[in-house]
């Protein structure tokens, strides 16, 4: 068997109209999977056409949309093997002292309920032995002041991943989540998230953002049948962030202390 081939596998990727989701859809296609690209943005239809994939317009925070997505994708592709619950949003930095219920609710609806619905209906139409991949974030391990709503949502994705891994193990369906550091996608440049953009390169041992293709490679690895014994994991792709302080950060601190 060709190593890490996805030949014949049927995949759904949400948030596939940009950034990480698009890179993952492209990578899956290159590995010979059949792919349905789902996004709230209708312009994704053009990208899907270019890739030779299907587009299904979907708001992942809407249960009926996600049910329709998984049902229609399984009809188009002849069943489902891989579901990537990747669509997500971030909000401008908001300290807890200014906590606004609407911000929390919006992030919860998309980043958490989008994954809940993706698991609920993804598994329903999935063949036994399939796999579900959820996009969390390194924020699941904590992040900057003002990231409370986003951190809350991404820690929830880790929890849901573990719950689903246990529930779906009897069907040999593996469920994992990926926790990337800042990725060079439009989300990294959202107004109101400037702190992250300014300091992440100093704070990260590898001293740069992750590229979308580098993160997509991890989804490919986890989706392949070669990877049959990994489930229930939160896997970090963070340029060494969790390992310890970056040399350049230590140098910057020591230099400023000498002033």
Question: Residues with catalytic annotation?
Answer: 137, 150, 154
For 228, other C-beta atoms within 10 Å of its C-beta total 11
Question: Does position 140 bind ligand NAD by CB under 6 A?
Answer: no
- φ/ψ region of 15 (left if φ > 0, alpha if ψ in -120 to 50, else beta) reads left
d(CA 248, CA 89): 30
Question: Which pair of tokens denotes residue 188?
Answer: 């990294």
Give residues 5-34 in contact with ligand NAD (rule: CB under 6 A).
14-15, 17-21
Query: In the complex, what is the shortest distance from the CB of residue 180 to ligand NAD, in angstroms, rounded to a whole number?
Result: 4
Is residue 137 within the footprint of ligand NAD (CB under 6 A)? yes
Q: What is the closest distance, in whole angstroms, from the C-beta atom of residue 57 to ligand NAD in the complex? A: 9
Instruction: Round to whole Å and give the CA distance between 166 and 199.
Output: 37
Asked if 59 is part of the footprint of ligand NAD (rule: CB under 6 A), the reply reads yes
88 binds ligand NAD (CB under 6 A): yes
Residue closest to 22 by CA, chosen among 84, 110, 79 = 84
Residue 156 touches ligand NAD, criterion: CB under 6 A: no
Minimum distance, C-beta of residue 254 to ligand NAD, in the bound complex (Å)? 28
Closer to ligand NAD at the Cβ: 40 or 151?
40
3-state secondary structure 140-151: HHCCCCCCHHHH
> Does residue 40 touch ligand NAD according to CB under 6 A?
yes
Token pair belonging to 145: 């002041």
Determine if 135 is a binding residue for ligand NAD (CB under 6 A).
yes
Task: Please identify which residue in 74, 123, 185, 203 interacts with ligand NAD, judged by CB under 6 A.
Answer: 185
For 196, residues 6+ apart whose C-beta sits below 8 A from its C-beta are: 143, 144, 147, 182, 188
- When binding is defined by CB under 6 A, the residue of 12, 13, 60, 80 that contacts ligand NAD is 60
Query: Using CB under 6 A, which of the segments 75-83, 183-191, 217-225, 241-249 binds ligand NAD?
Result: 183-191
* Of 210, 184, 103, 96, nearest in space to 144 by CA: 96
Residues that bind ligand NAD (CB under 6 A): 14-15, 17-21, 39-41, 58-61, 86-89, 110, 135, 137, 180, 182-183, 185-188
């Amino acid at each position: 068997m060709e190593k890490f081939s996805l030949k014949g596998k049927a995949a759904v990727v949400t948030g596939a109209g940009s950034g990480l989701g698009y890179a993952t859809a492209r990578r899956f296609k290159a590995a010979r999977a059949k792919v349905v690209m789902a996004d709230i943005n209708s312009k994704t239809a053009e990208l899907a056409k270019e890739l030779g994939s299907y587009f299904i317009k979907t708001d992942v925070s809407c249960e009926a949309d996600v049910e329709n997505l998984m049902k229609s994708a399984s009809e188009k592709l002849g069943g489902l093997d891989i579901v990537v619950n990747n669509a997500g949003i971030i909000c401008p930095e908001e300290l807890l002292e200014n906590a606004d219920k609407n911000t929390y609710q919006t992030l919860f609806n998309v980043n958490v309920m989008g994954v809940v619905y993706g698991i609920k209906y993804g598994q329903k139409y999935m063949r036994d032995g399939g796999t579900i991949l959820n996009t969390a974030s390194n924020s699941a391990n904590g992040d900057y002041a003002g990231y409370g709503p986003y951190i809350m949502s991404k820690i929830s994705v880790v929890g849901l991943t573990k719950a689903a891994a246990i529930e779906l193990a009897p069907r040999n369906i593996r469920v994992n989540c990926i926790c990337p550091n800042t990725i060079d996608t439009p989300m990294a440049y959202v107004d109101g998230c400037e702190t992250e953009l300014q300091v992440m390169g100093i704070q990260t041992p590898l001293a740069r953002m992750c590229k979308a293709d580098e993160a997509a490679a991890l989804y490919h690895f986890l989706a392949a049948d070669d990877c049959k014994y990994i489930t229930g994991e939160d896997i970090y792709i963070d340029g060494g962030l969790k390992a310890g302080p970056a040399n350049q950060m230590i140098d910057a601190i020591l230099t400023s202390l000498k002033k």
